[in-house]
């Protein structure tokens, strides 16, 4: 599987580390509701088909990317940079 | 057997270049260009193997990688390679091949007695015999069964050859160089696209040497030669032979193995034996062709029975003749062509048996051949070499046979049609679709950027392949698959479906009777198609028989999906050069050479090499670490801590960031001070510990444990990028930029004062947890007054390239105090005496409270894991908590021992040592509700070594609980 890093170009998946589901949202840091934290840490959808997930280019530029991957075919339909340096995906 | 060499000189061999080789120690000769199988046939040796279960004699069955029978071991010692298919082994001078699964010899195999028990050894034998009898009976029998059943044995010696891995990129990858593959390459080459044409065989051209008719006005052989020449002139076309694509993975990535030097006695200097190729393809053309399909009849595994087209290949390519008196059993017109071609080459085909009721009048016939249309072969016999076959008139509608007659033959060639090799297509996930016309599965629609062409999609004639138009050809229509299983008059008929796993029609019947009816169940219960050949010759016949038993159609019965690898791949090839020392990276500290020069025994700590102990003459490891630890308590010691993770945290929000990720407060750490901190995971368990030094308002130097250095950095990056992108902080790993050493003991200050200038080492000048910059000569150092040992101690960091000079300078300064270098063992001793946690206690299942650090957690702020650490299960009173243990028996304790209170298992020992300070064997342990167990005696048991020790439970702080020695 090849993931197109917005900085480094198309690179093999073995250069990346899978971080996790990109659709979960961490509760506000000062939120004290245990259920929300439980959901954030432990609950995941397991969709068949389109899925957004985070990968880190650990053996490359170390940036975090959001990868839109089909869980059935592993086809990747988009990769975008995450974080304060977020830019438009020009691919 | 009567195999021999024909007068006709084969296309692929050079009869002027003889080659000597051995099989089972006996010498044979062949010619350059031969395969092991073709040379053995020419030498009259058809039988090459004993079967997997019944040890039946087996001969060469095919001329390609689909070979189910003729499996041999090649070479010996470290180069031994089991389970090679003889038809794909290229002959070379000195080739040393052996038969497998036979003892004492191939021709006299005592295990052939298994054939007598064949009614017992059917599908499900092991389940039925050993389920419920208990483990003991199985363990008793296992040795004998494993000895009796099986394939070749692997060598226990290391393989002296090298294997390599490489990546290739191509616009178009064409797999297979038969008519379809070559036509595709010719069509694509002028476009300028980067084309890679791969073929698993030694020669390009696939079936073309045996094809008839004309292509572009030339005969197929000439066309192939011209096409290959044209292609070789294109700069954008790369052709690789001896290269098998074994797997089709995600994103059009192909796995392939190139046999670089398998055809040589030994690889040349620096030449790999095999090369693993990872091919990244924009588009893939699958032109993998088809293989011939066998008939199923009594004795169909007798040596001398083989696929018809394979016999033709042996004759045409190698001049090898499979027999003197040859019969051919077919159910299609192509069988006639094969018979006639064989005769033209000089092979004496005398009889053609055709299962069909009638044939077209215009089908050419040869006057030297007797045609038995409407007949089938009902049995073949002869033991180690085919001698006779029985044929009988066949009523296809009733599936009955008439009166049998016996015919003497020494070779029986079979062809029941063709099976497309859809393996790679199937690996992409596309379903297999049953094509009624050819009675075979063909690939479904492409799910990715690939395309199949040629025989793999059922185009079995040249016209079809080259025009890509389906030609309506009545003669091509295959007769129903269900008619490949021949009736027999023999009640104990042995009709094999899967030769390699010895699965017969009887086994399929048993599986069906016992309810294993879905194709998935049948496959697993009988192991059909699960041998190294993945059922290439057996799957279709098995499906047909199964569908027949269930009274349903083949597409209704369905098929299983093919998985990689298409052909077995050697583990050495997958490993490439990542073996031995090269399996993982090795990291050495800048002081490594010094350690080695001073008697250090090194230990792997993750990927780092660290000194374990520095042994003096005559010392054991235990002697050495006790001496080293005592030296630290009594005077001064020095330990290399370079392997700790070091992270530079910079930015206006650095303190705020650390305050969010450490469980204790970090906002108000003064500049020039360090603080010990604990990080939790999001789920509330402990993640890592270490110190962070505030170097300026906006900069911290964070240290982590050796093991978690990479994980902590990634987690910090994740939080900064995905969770708090608003925080103005940047983190970088500086583990490699700094060498570190801890100088510990009452004389540590005296030592460092002598060598580090511009640092005031007084209590006020450098208080506990203080951080200062200094110089040793002109080498910059950072000094932090931290202690892991409990003694007055300092960590000294310096840029990596000064590491060994700084170390030596400190050693010199410490000479007056007999400074002692110490390793990880003494480091462990000192911290266990103090009850400080390390890896064995930070095992990912402990909370701060479990290890006695609960009070350190801030209650005034939220931090990563602060809410979830309060989950019921994590604050339960019965959780295992950390305690100290003292051996009652004055015996060493073992980490991992279970701790028993009476008969209750209440926990385990985590870290152990001999304490020179207490002069006792001590340990740290995690036990249920530890604080209530103080003063109790437990049994530490280590069942693997049958050891029991009586231990006293104490507080986990064995030494200097008040911490006074930090200020000595």
DSSP B573-607: HHHTT--GGGGS--B--TTHHHHHHTTEEEEEETT
Residue B21: φ, ψ to 5°: -150, 170
Mean pLDDT of B360-386: 93
Answer whether A56 sits within 8 Å of B726, measured CB to CB.
no
Higher pLDDT, B493 or B409: B409
Beta strands in B552-670 (DSSP E): 600-605, 608-614, 637-640, 645-650
> Could you tell me if residue A61 is inside a domain?
yes
Closest listed residue to residue B72, CA positions, set B51, B88, B48: B48
Asked whether residue B559 carries a pLDDT value surpassing 70, the answer given is yes
Q: Does A68 fall in a domain?
A: yes
Residue range B646-733, CATH number: 3.30.70.1400
Using a CB-CB distance cutoff of 8 angstroms, which residues of chain B are in contact with residue A62?
A: 717
pLDDT band at B474 (very low <50, low <70, confident <90, very high): very low
Q: Do B251 and A34 touch (CB under 8 A)?
A: no
Q: ipTM value of the model?
A: 0.95
pLDDT for residue A87 is more than 80: no
The pair of three-digit structure tokens given for residue B894, joined into one six-digit string:
């073992």
In a domain, A21, yes or no: yes
On whether any CB of chain A is under 8 Å from the CB of B871, the answer is: yes
Q: A31 in a domain, yes or no?
A: no
Calculate mean pLDDT across residues B641-666. 97
CB B625 within 8 A of CB B574: no
The pLDDT tens digits for B89-103 are 999 999 999 999 877
CB B896 within 8 Å of CB B942: yes
What is the strand order of the sheet A76-81 is part of?
A17-21, A50-56, A64-70, A76-81
Residues in chain B: 968
User: Is residue B470 pLDDT above 60, yes or no?
Assistant: no
Nearest C-alpha in A relative to B251: A1
Ordered alpha helix ranges (H), B279-329: 308-318
Question: Quick check: helix, strand or coil at residue B228?
Answer: helix
* Residue spans in chain B of domains classed CATH 3.30.70.1400: 646-733
pLDDT digits (tens, 9 = 90+) for B588-623: 999 999 999 999 999 998 889 999 999 999 999 999
- For residue range B165-209, list pLDDT tens digits in order: 999 999 999 999 999 999 999 999 999 999 999 999 999 999 999
Contacts of A54 in chain B (CB under 8 A): 718, 722
pLDDT above 70 covers a percentage of chain B that reads 97
Residue A12 forms part of a structural domain:
yes
pLDDT of B471 above 50: no
Q: Give the H or E element holding residue B462.
A: helix B462-467
Q: For residue range B211-232, list pLDDT tens digits in order.
A: 988 888 889 999 999 999 999 9
pLDDT at B960 over 50: yes
In chain B, where does the domain assigned CATH 3.30.1360.120 lie? 594-644+737-835
CATH number, domain of A72, equals 3.30.2270.10
Distance (Å, whole) CA B860 – CA B855: 12
Residue A91 within any structural domain of the chain? no
Q: Are the beta carbons of A84 and B867 separated by less than 8 Å?
A: no
Interface mutation target, options A53, A73, A87, chain B, most CBs of B under 10 Å: A73
| pLDDT bucket at B250, cuts 50 / 70 / 90 | confident
B84, B914, B924, B938 from B899: Cα distances, Å: 53, 19, 12, 6
Strands (E), B854-934: 880-887, 898-901, 904-915, 920-928
B722 to A82: CB separation less than 8 angstroms, yes or no: yes
Which CATH class for the B877-967 domain? Answer: mainly beta
Residues on chain B touching A1 (C-beta within 8 angstroms): 249-251, 253
Is residue B589 a contact partner of residue B800, using CB atoms and an 8 Å limit?
Answer: no
* pLDDT score for B247: 97
* Terminal Cα-to-Cα distance of chain A (whole angstroms): 17
Helix (H) or strand (E) holding B550: helix B539-550
User: Would you state the pLDDT for residue B112?
Assistant: 77
Is residue B730 within a helix (H) or strand (E), and if so which, with residue range? Answer: strand B730-733
Q: A12-60, pLDDT tens digit by residue?
A: 999 999 999 999 999 999 999 999 999 999 999 999 999 999 999 999 9
Establish if B448 touches chain A: CB-CB under 8 angstroms: yes
B535-551 burial, b at 16+ Cβ within 10 Å, e below that, comes to bbbbbbbbbbbbbbbee
Instruction: Look at residue B695 in the predicted model and tell me its pLDDT.
Output: 98
* Inter-chain touch A63–B871, beta carbons under 8 Å: no
Q: Using CB atoms, which residue from B251, B710, B724 is nearest to A1?
A: B251
Identify the band that residue B483 occupies on the pLDDT scale cut at 50, 70 and 90. Answer: confident
The encoded tokens of residue A24 equal 């979960």
Note whether A34 contacts B870, CB cutoff 8 Å.
yes
pLDDT band at B123 (very low <50, low <70, confident <90, very high): confident
User: Helix B748-755 to helix B803-813 angle, to the nearest 10 degrees?
Assistant: 120
pLDDT at B11: 95
What integer is the mean pLDDT of B693-699?
A: 98
| Residues facing B690 on adjacent strands | B677
Classified as helix, coil or strand, B715 is helix
pLDDT by residue (tens digit) across B862-885? Answer: 999 999 999 999 999 999 999 999
Q: With beta carbons less than 8 A apart as the criterion, state whether B57 and B383 touch.
A: yes
Rounded Cα distance between A55 and A15, Å, is: 10
Residue B475 pLDDT greater than 50, yes or no: no
Q: What pLDDT is stored for residue B133 in this prediction?
A: 62
For chain A, state the CA radius of gyration: 14
Contact between chains at B250 and A74 (C-beta distance less than 8 A): yes
d(CA B17, CA B4): 17
A53 touching B, CB under 8 A? no
- pLDDT at residue number B400: 87
Contact at 8 Å (CB) between B224 and B209? yes
Hey, are the CB atoms on A2 and B251 less than 8 Å from each other? yes
Close Cβ partners of B425 (under 8 Å, ≥ 6 residues apart): B248, B286, B443, B444, B446, B450, B452, B456
Q: Give the separation between CA B712 and CA A62, rounded to whole angstroms.
A: 13
Calpha distance B104→B862 (Å, rounded):
75
Interface test with A, best of B663, B718, B730, B874 (most A CBs within 10 A): B718
When comparing pLDDT for B265 and B938, which is higher?
B938
Name the domain count of chain A. Answer: 1
Interface contact B718-A19, CB threshold 8 A: yes
The mean of the pLDDT values for chain B is: 92
Q: Per residue in B32-77, pLDDT tens?
A: 999 999 999 999 999 999 988 888 999 999 999 999 999 999 999 9
| Other beta carbons within 10 Å of B179 | 29
Q: What is the pLDDT of residue B488?
A: 85
Give the CA angle between residues B318, B288, B340 to the nearest 5°.
Answer: 40
In the predicted structure, residue B535 carries a pLDDT above the cut 70: yes
Whole-Å CA distances, B145 to B116, B138, B186, B498, B504: 16, 10, 53, 20, 20
* Cα separation values, B399 from A13, B300, B346, B375, B493, Å: 55, 18, 35, 12, 16
pLDDT tens-digit readout, A56-74: 999 999 999 999 999 988 8
User: Does the pLDDT value for residue A91 go beyond 70?
Assistant: no
What are the tens digits of pLDDT across the range B273-299?
999 999 999 999 999 999 999 999 999
Among B779, B528, B740, B759, which Cα is nearest to B643's? B740
Q: Is the separation of the CB atoms in B862 and B667 below 8 Å?
A: no
What is the span of the domain harbouring residue A6?
2-25+37-81
Give B809-831 pLDDT, tens digit per residue: 999 999 999 999 999 999 999 99
- Contacts of B8 by beta carbon, 8 Å cutoff, 6+ apart: B315, B319, B345, B346
**Residue B1 has what pLDDT?**
47
Residue B500, Ramachandran bin (φ over 0: left; ψ between -120 and 50: alpha; else beta): alpha
Q: How many CB atoms lie within 10 A of CB B304?
A: 27
**B606 vs chain A: nearest CA distance in angstroms?**
18
B369: its two tokens: 């051949």
Count Cα neighbours of B879 within 13 Å in the Cβ-side half-sphere.
18
Between CA B727 and CA B594 the distance in angstroms is: 43
Q: What is the pLDDT of residue B251?
A: 85
- A70 within a domain of the structure (yes/no): yes
CATH of region B161-293+418-477: 3.50.50.60
Q: Give which of B382, B422, B385 is closest to B534, Cα–Cα.
A: B422
Pairing state between β B326-330 and B411-415: parallel
Q: Which of B123-132, B363-372, B662-671, B849-858 has the lowest mean pLDDT?
A: B123-132
Q: What is the distance between the alpha carbons of residues B891 and B950, in angstroms, rounded to a whole number?
A: 9
A24 touches chain B (CB under 8 A): no
CATH 3.50.50.60, chain B: domain bounds: 161-293+418-477
The DSSP secondary-structure symbol of B67 reads: -
Domain over B594-644+737-835 is classified CATH 3.30.1360.120: yes
Please indicate, yes or no, if residue A19 is contained in any of the structural domains.
Answer: yes
Total Cβ atoms within 10 A of residue B749: 20
Percent of all residues in chain B with a pLDDT value above 90, rounded to a whole number: 81
């Amino acid at each position: 599987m090849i993931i197109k890093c917005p900085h480094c170009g198309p690179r093999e998946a073995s250069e990346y580390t899978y971080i996790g589901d990109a659709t979960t949202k961490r509760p506000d840091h000062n939120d004290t509701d245990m259920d929300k934290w439980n959901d954030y840490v432990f609950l995941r959808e397991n969709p068949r088909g389109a899925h957004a997930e985070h990968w880190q280019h650990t053996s490359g530029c170390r940036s975090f990317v959001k990868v839109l991957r089909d869980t059935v075919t592993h086809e990747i339909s988009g990769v975008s940079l995450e974080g304060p340096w977020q830019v438009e995906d020009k691919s | 057997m009567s195999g021999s060499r024909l007068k006709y000189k084969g296309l692929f061999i050079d009869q002027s270049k003889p080659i000597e080789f051995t099989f089972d120690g006996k010498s044979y000769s062949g010619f350059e260009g031969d395969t092991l199988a073709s040379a053995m046939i020419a030498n009259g040796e058809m039988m090459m193997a004993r079967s997997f279960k019944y040890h039946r004699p087996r001969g060469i069955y095919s001329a390609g990688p689909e070979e189910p029978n003729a499996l041999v071991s090649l070479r010996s010692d470290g180069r031994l390679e089991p389970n090679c298919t003889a038809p794909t082994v290229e002959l070379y001078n000195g080739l040393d091949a052996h038969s497998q699964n036979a003892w004492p010899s191939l021709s006299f195999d005592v295990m052939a007695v298994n054939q007598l028990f064949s009614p017992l050894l059917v599908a499900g034998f092991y389940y039925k015999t050993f389920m419920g009898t208990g483990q003991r009976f199985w363990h008793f029998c296992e040795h004998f069964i494993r000895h009796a059943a099986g394939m070749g044995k692997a060598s226990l010696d290391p393989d002296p050859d090298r294997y390599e891995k490489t990546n290739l990129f191509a616009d178009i990858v064409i797999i297979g160089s038969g008519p379809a593959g070559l036509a595709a390459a010719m069509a694509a080459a002028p476009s300028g696209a980067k084309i890679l044409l791969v073929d698993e065989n030694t020669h390009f051209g696939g079936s073309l040497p045996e094809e008839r008719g004309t292509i572009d006005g030339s005969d197929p052989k000439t066309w192939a030669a011209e096409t290959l020449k044209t292609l070789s002139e294109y700069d954008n076309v790369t052709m690789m032979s001896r290269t098998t694509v074994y797997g089709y993975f995600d994103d059009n990535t192909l796995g392939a193995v190139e046999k670089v030097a398998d055809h040589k006695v030994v690889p040349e200097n620096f030449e790999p034996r095999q090369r693993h190729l990872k091919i990244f393809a924009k588009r893939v053309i699958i032109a993998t062709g088809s293989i011939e399909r066998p008939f199923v009849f009594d004795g169909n595994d007798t040596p001398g029975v083989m696929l018809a087209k394979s016999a033709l290949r042996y004759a045409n390519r190698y001049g090898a003749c499979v027999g003197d008196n040859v019969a051919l059993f077919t159910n299609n017109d192509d069988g006639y062509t094969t018979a006639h071609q064989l005769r033209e080459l000089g092979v004496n085909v005398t009889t053609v048996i055709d299962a069909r009721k009638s044939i077209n009048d215009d089908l050419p016939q040869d006057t030297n051949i007797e045609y038995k249309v409407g007949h089938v072969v009902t049995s073949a016999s002869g033991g180690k070499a085919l001698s006779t076959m029985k044929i009988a008139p066949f009523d296809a509608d009733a599936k009955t046979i008439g009166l049998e007659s016996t015919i003497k033959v020494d070779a029986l060639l079979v062809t029941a049609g063709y099976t497309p090799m859809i393996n790679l297509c199937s690996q992409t996930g596309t379903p297999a679709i049953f094509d009624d016309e050819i009675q075979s599965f063909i690939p479904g629609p492409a799910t990715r950027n690939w395309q199949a062409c040629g025989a793999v999609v059922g185009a079995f004639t040249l016209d079809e392949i080259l025009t890509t138009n389906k030609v309506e050809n009545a003669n091509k229509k295959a007769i129903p698959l269900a008619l490949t299983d021949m009736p027999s008059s023999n009640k104990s008929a042995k009709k094999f479906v899967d030769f390699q796993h010895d699965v017969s029609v009887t086994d399929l019947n048993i599986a069906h009777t016992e309810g294993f009816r879905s194709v998935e169940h049948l496959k697993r219960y009988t192991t059909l198609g699960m041998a190294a050949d993945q059922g290439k010759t057996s799957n279709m016949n098995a499906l047909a028989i199964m569908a027949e038993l269930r009274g349903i159609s083949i597409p209704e019965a369905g098929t299983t999906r093919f998985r990689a690898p298409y052909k077995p791949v050697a583990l050495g090839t997958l490993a490439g050069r990542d073996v031995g020392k090269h399996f993982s990276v090795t990291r050495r500290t800048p002081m490594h050479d010094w350690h080695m020069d001073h008697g250090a025994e090194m230990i792997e700590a993750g990927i780092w090499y660290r000194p374990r102990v520095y042994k003096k003459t005559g010392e054991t490891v235990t002697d050495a670490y006790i001496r080293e630890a005592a030296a630290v308590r009594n005077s001064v010691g020095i330990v290399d801590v370079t392997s700790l993770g070091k992270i530079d945290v910079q930015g206006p929000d650095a303190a705020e960031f650390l305050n969010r990720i450490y469980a204790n407060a970090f906002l108000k750490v003064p500049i020039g001070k360090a603080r010990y901190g604990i990080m939790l995971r999001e789920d509330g368990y402990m993640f890592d510990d270490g110190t962070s030094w505030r170097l300026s308002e906006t900069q911290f130097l964070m240290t982590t444990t050796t093991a978690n250095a990479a994980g902590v950095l990634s987690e910090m990056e994740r939080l900064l990028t995905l969770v708090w992108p608003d925080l103005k902080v940047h983190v970088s790993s500086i583990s490699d930029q700094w060498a570190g050493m801890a100088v510990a003991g009452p004389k540590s200050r005296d030592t460092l004062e002598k060598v580090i200038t511009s640092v005031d080492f007084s209590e006020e000048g450098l208080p506990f947890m203080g951080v200062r910059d200094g110089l040793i000569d002109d080498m910059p150092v950072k000094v932090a007054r931290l202690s892991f040992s409990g003694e007055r101690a300092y960590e000294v960091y310096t840029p990596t390239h000064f590491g060994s000079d700084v170390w030596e300078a400190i050693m010199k300064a410490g000479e007056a105090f007999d400074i002692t270098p110490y390793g990880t063992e003494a480091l462990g001793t000192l911290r266990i005496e103090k009850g400080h946690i390390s890896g064995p206690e930070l095992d990912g299942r402990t909370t701060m409270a479990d290890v006695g650090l609960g009070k350190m957690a801030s209650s005034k702020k939220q931090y990563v894991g602060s809410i979830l650490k309060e989950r019921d299960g994590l604050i339960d009173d019965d959780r295992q908590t950390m305690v100290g243990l003292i051996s009652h028996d004055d015996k060493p304790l073992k980490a991992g021992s279970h701790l028993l209170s009476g008969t209750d298992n209440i926990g385990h020992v985590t870290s152990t040592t001999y304490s020179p300070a207490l002069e006792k064997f001590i340990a740290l342990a995690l036990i249920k509700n530890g604080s209530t167990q103080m003063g109790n005696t437990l049994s530490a048991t280590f069942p693997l070594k049958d050891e029991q020790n009586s231990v006293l439970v104490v507080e986990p702080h064995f030494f200097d609980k008040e911490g006074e020695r930090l200020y000595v």
